[in-house]
Amino acid sequence: MLDGCSLPRNQPDPVDAEKARATFSQALGGMNEAGVTLVGAWVDAPAHKAFLVIDADGADQIEAALAPIIDIGCVETRPVSDATDVLKRITES
């Protein structure tokens, strides 16, 4: 999840909207270069949050993919696993 949490909530948004659009476009367009696949993207515009599902082999790839965006907000990542694989792993042990 990308969050505008670094922005002061009691002041006007200091991020230039055009710069933000260009930065997001650059990051989303460069996902393949970082070795990740963008599975889907959703936005809660009033809350200044974007939700991205990214398929990657490791956190370093996600960090590289999101590098252009990090300066305009906060990034919260949540690694997840396939539920079937996890259930199989825990029932076999």
- Rounded distance, CA 50 to CA 75, Å? 10
Confidence at residue 32, expressed as pLDDT on a 0 to 100 scale = 87
- Phi, psi of 58, deg, nearest 5: -160, 165
Q: What CATH code is assigned to 2-92? A: 3.30.70.3090
Question: Rg of the chain over CA atoms, in angstroms?
Answer: 16
Residue 42, H or E segment: strand 37-44
Domain map of the chain by residue range? Answer: 2-92
Q: What is the pTM of this model?
A: 0.67
pLDDT digits (tens, 9 = 90+) for 6-52: 444 444 455 677 877 788 888 888 888 889 999 988 888 888 788 88
